[in-house]
Structure 1
């Protein structure tokens, strides 16, 4: 399996699936691939997916992450962004690497940790995926207990909220940022960045956040 993985080149925007991969093989593959790579990994009960984002997906990831950070800064909420860290739970036989993720409510619980194991550590409070068509990803985040999953695809932001029964339900508002109509506003600011530039867009978004906060 490792030999096969090392020989495969995944083109940007494409994914490769492997069936009947054991947990031991999954961990060996992660070790062999290393942390400094462009591909993302998802593992769900024996099925391994390796995908490589397009450059525009990386741009979307960075910009949306910047907007989330501005929200957290203006709300004066401590957070920790862990990027595409591998999250896995051997008991659930699931693992995934989001495009980005944030520890917010659970930030203090993971502060200073270099490695996380979801059998003992809490999951991130918010995971972000860009232009992902795989239907297995929400199920993996569900199984790992991630409270919020944001998926940005074809100009639309979808927010999935974890319910008490352990399943996701799509919501109009984030539970982390309930005052803000983010599904409407974030796509608008991403489009603005294409013409106005990154810095002007971020300043405008920060001003909008402050305006919303003063209205309450």
Structure 2
């Protein structure tokens, strides 16, 4: 369920059921910052802001399982690839005065070392190297991610994985991830998510890890 409403203060008076999405128009950057403070960090709602439009979404379990599974798959792939990383979950990333996003999951890979000690983001910190979004009740705001300059974005939607790469400030869709160039992610990830609904996430991940390891041997 989605709705478009004018700005309401305080924002925490808006009651949203799981699976709901609200779009709020004519939001200034200061409004966005105020809303973040009002809602706090311990909340179920996820926010996306770009060009004066704020989207507030409360996820369903149908959203949470793919999110967790794909995040676990990334960790498995990074381990197999012997790549170090720092996961930053649904941290709020902002481009001052322009955009703000909270990915379902994100990872620092090339810049992991710089972020090891970070308890909070600091001015000048780079965006995550990889962000993941699962679209169930809402659609990913590509413009916001472009503004924040996340170099690689995965969007899982309706049983398909789309890989977006940032080139000259714009996203182009790709079949290959530069982070994992030798792995057919657009096939194995949707297959693993579907498999998890049949046998559970633990077994689906075990099976996937076995397949990947065998193929790379």
TM-score normalised to structure 2 length: 0.91
State how 1:1-216 maps to structure 2 within 5 Å: 3-91=9-97, 93-117=98-122, 120-131=124-135, 137-163=141-167, 165-214=168-217
Q: Offset of 1:45 from its aligned partner? A: 2.1
Task: State whether residues 2 and 32 of structure 1, in contact with CA within 8 Å, keep that contact through their aligned partners in structure 2.
Answer: no
Q: Offset of 1:14 from its aligned partner? A: 2.1
CA distance in 2, matches of 1:194, 1:133: 19
Structure 2: 5+ residue runs without aligned partners? 1-6
Task: State whether residues 17 and 50 of structure 1, in contact with CA within 8 Å, keep that contact through their aligned partners in structure 2.
Answer: yes
CA distance in 2, matches of 1:80, 1:189: 23
- Structure 1 residue runs of 4 or more that deviate by more than 6 Å after TM superposition: none
Q: Offset of 1:197 from its aligned partner? A: 2.3
TM-score normalised to structure 1 length: 0.92
Structure 1: 5+ residue runs without aligned partners? none
Match of 2:70, SS state, is: helix
CA distance in 2, matches of 1:129, 1:135: 9
Q: What is the alpha-carbon root mean square deviation over aligned residues?
A: 1.7
